Amino acid sequence: MSPILAPNTLDFISHSEAQTRRLGARLAAVLNPGDVLALIGELGTGKTRWVQGVCQGLEVAELAVSPTFTLVNEYQGRWPVYHIDLYRLADTSEALTFGLEDYLYGSGISLIEWADRAGKFLPDSYLAVELYHLEETKRRVVLRPHGARFIKVLDAFKEAAFAG
């Protein structure tokens, strides 16, 4: 991802795990089946906390946990949620061995941790959620829309999350 922020990019600070979850829940309010969120960030930057918030916002009853060893956890909320963790993939071609494309083009919402490991298998339209460690509890969050659908999603999120 380019470090230069495009006009449609949103860049902000989350001051706590709870705030990261709340922002994920607010984003969930503007998501639809078929949407893909590509979470990118080092270990401990809050990817799973963001996923937990999205799941909460989608009315998933159970707490989302990182599927590092199983690769995919499926949850049922308002819509199906596919929580995918690509941390253990050795290379991008392994993404096809467990059916990544079936999830990305399925009837649910796909939340992909370590999405940078998906390479060319990401769809043309998705929202990149980049998380960066700043301090013990502070994270920089950069949301980058890819495709017209996610420019609209980001506009709706800004209105819902940051309106007075």
Q: Of residues 48 and 94, which shows the higher confidence score?
A: 48
Label residue 94 by pLDDT band (50, 70, 90). low
Q: Which among 117, 114, 17 has a CA at the least distance from the CA of 63?
A: 17
CB atoms within 10 A of CB 121: 16
pLDDT of 2 > 50? The answer is no
Query: Does residue 146 sit in helix, strand or coil?
Result: strand
Determine the length of the chain: 164
As its CATH architecture, domain 12-162 has 3-Layer(aba) Sandwich (3.40)
Residue reference for tokens 């639809």? 32
Label residue 19 by pLDDT band (50, 70, 90). very high
Task: Identify the pLDDT of residue 59.
Answer: 97
Q: Rounded to two decimals, what is the model's pTM?
A: 0.89
pLDDT of 1 > 50? The answer is no
Which amino acid is it at 61?
A
pLDDT of 122 > 70? The answer is yes
> Which tokens hold the place of 67?
């599927």
Query: Does residue 80 sit in helix, strand or coil?
Result: strand
Report the interhelical angle of 17-28 vs 47-57 (nearest 10°): 40
Label residue 101 by pLDDT band (50, 70, 90). confident
